[in-house]
Structure 1
């Protein structure tokens, strides 16, 4: 497994990830704490590695290797979250035959903690997605799809809070506009809610009401567009309190996270690791004894 590491422990990056002023996370202790975030996006039902003759990704990827990687990192740091930014379904005959059952069962076996919904996760309709939800032991987080009056109603959460080694981590999820990508016959009465407005609500709830130390957005909006469409980069610039955006949809291979300045002139990490499960992103957030946090980012080739 090839690792490309991006160290962002410069003064600027530490400032970007600094804790809320006046908040001492570790009063009375000198111990630093490390949270590891592992993430994928747009795996598209790639269960097996690419074949040896593939011109682009020969022998790369595969669930078995990803499982080993996740297990080894969790042994190294039990305070690890494994997250996915959507488009779990569609792309190989495994989805055509099993309809997403295998994907959800394998993600559960690998110990994923949460995922959000991509447009291709509607490819068997809201009914097909709902039918597979019992196979998912992880949380399905969708903040801006309103599933009222569909069979998906009640099967997702707008956000989830995880606590690792005393660190409170808030996670919310955003999906792309369905119109033009998913037919009404598949999405039924699913309503798409404005991602920026929802982000304002989610970050307020997570930061102000729940006092989260770290806020992560699972985004299937896409990394960047040349036209006026909400993307990970524009969301980061127009929002507050997000520490990390884990992106999907555009299959963007980033060698390191992009750093974007938000409305409060604080920096946000934006990351995406391609597609098909050939890479896993790793970001380690370290909280020191005074409550400041810094991070190290790695792209791991599976």
Structure 2
């Protein structure tokens, strides 16, 4: 099924680690435009920082610290987008008690711009997710789930377009196959579509019809599957598509110090990044557009 047809139907104390850079082509004519992308994934309802005696993440994470970090970056560059790659829910007593209300309210206070849906975001069912959406002052995007005949049909869009500093940015989402991960009664009539085929349809629309200068995928497919290299993952997606500039990943809780650089199907560079889990890190990618339609980028992971 072609996604195009479906569309018509329907923090202080932060330490910087790692630095990567790449040159990409773009179609923006504004000189010296600077766009910053901040991103998280798999926060899993971790509101508080880990205790100082935690064996793995001592005194790390926490929404308040993340808020401080985000505000510092926004003060540095007003052309900043804040994105999340899914699995916002499930992982602490806050979710068990409030059902996602606190997570969405805090993300709204942090002024997230767009998020995609992870498999654990269905843990209270479609109705549980729907009940919390009034608390979310940000957009939900997912292109390869069709929500026809569900209450989410009009609430989750395939993509969202933002304009920052004269740069047109298309952000779309992709979700992992729910069968085998989520109880059928929780996702009801939601249908999973092939992410590579759908991604190429969406990217074509964003590039050719919407004239986006930058295309970003929020992916909850997983970074890589060593035991099954043919399973669709972020690295497979990057290698088998074209015109995606950045893939922000989730699901596999992969800690990258800097973005991976993958050659796409026409041998151009794609950035792929994922920052672990639990709000331990925030990813930062900076894109610099010049007046010759070329964009360079740097990327790093920031420990909260």
Scaled to the shorter chain, the TM-score interval is over 0.9
- 2:246–2:272: 8 Å Cα contact kept in structure 1? yes
Deviation at 1:290? 1.6
Distance 2:172 2:128 in 1: 23
Aligned with 2:126: secondary structure? helix
Q: Give the match's secondary structure for 1:230.
A: coil
Change (3 A) 1:24 1:214: closer
CA distance in 2, matches of 1:101, 1:198: 31
Q: CA deviation at 1:5?
A: 3.7
- In 2, distance between residues paired with 1:7 and 1:85? 20
Residue 170 of structure 1 corresponds to 170
**How far off its partner does 1:289 sit?**
2.3
Match of residue 64 from structure 2: 64
TM-score by length of 1: 0.94
Match of 1:25 in 2: 29
State yes or no: 1:211 paired with 2:211.
yes
CA-CA distance at 1:291 after TM superposition: 2.1
Tell me the TM-score normalized by structure 2.
Answer: 0.94
Match of 2:117 in 1: 117
Aligned to 1:79: 79
* 1:197 positional shift: 1.1
Secondary structure at the aligned position of 1:108 is classed as helix
Q: Deviations over 1:238-261 (max 9, x none)?
A: 001000000000000011111111
Q: How far apart, CA to CA, are the structure 2 residues paired with 1:141 and 1:200?
A: 16
Q: CA deviation at 1:155?
A: 0.8
Q: Return 5+ residue gaps in structure 1 as ranges.
A: none
Unaligned runs of 5+ in 2: 1-13
Q: Alignment partner of 1:58: what SS?
A: coil
Map of 1:103 onto structure 2: 103
1:255 to 2:257 alignment: yes
Q: 5 Å matches for 1:213-232?
A: 213-225=213-225, 226-227=227-228, 228-232=230-234
For 1:218 and 1:40, the matched residues in 2 are separated by 10
Task: Decide which moves more: 213-222 or 145-154.
Answer: 145-154
Aligned-partner Cα distance in 1 for 2:18–2:294: 21
Matched, 1:6 2:14: no
RMSD of equivalent CA atoms: 0.9
State the shift of 1:24 in Å.
5.6
Q: Deviations over 1:121-160 (max 9, x none)?
A: 0000000001111111010001111111112121111000
Contact 1:5–1:296 (Cα < 8 Å) also in 2: no
State the 4+ residue runs in structure 1 displaced beyond 2 angstroms: none
Aligned partners of 2:187 and 2:62: how far apart in 1? 30
With 115-124 and 139-148 compared, the bigger mean Cα shift is at 139-148
Note if contact 1:254-1:274 (Cα within 8 Å) is conserved in structure 2: yes
* Residue-pair matches, total: 289
Map of 2:6 onto structure 1: none
- Aligned partners of 1:214 and 1:125: how far apart in 2? 33
Greater shift, 256-265 or 242-251, is seen at: 256-265
| Distance change in 2, residues 1:208/1:150 (3 Å) | same
Task: Measure, in 2, the Cα distance between the counterparts of 1:50 and 1:7.
Answer: 28
Q: Is the 8 A contact 2:28 2:213 kept in 1?
A: no
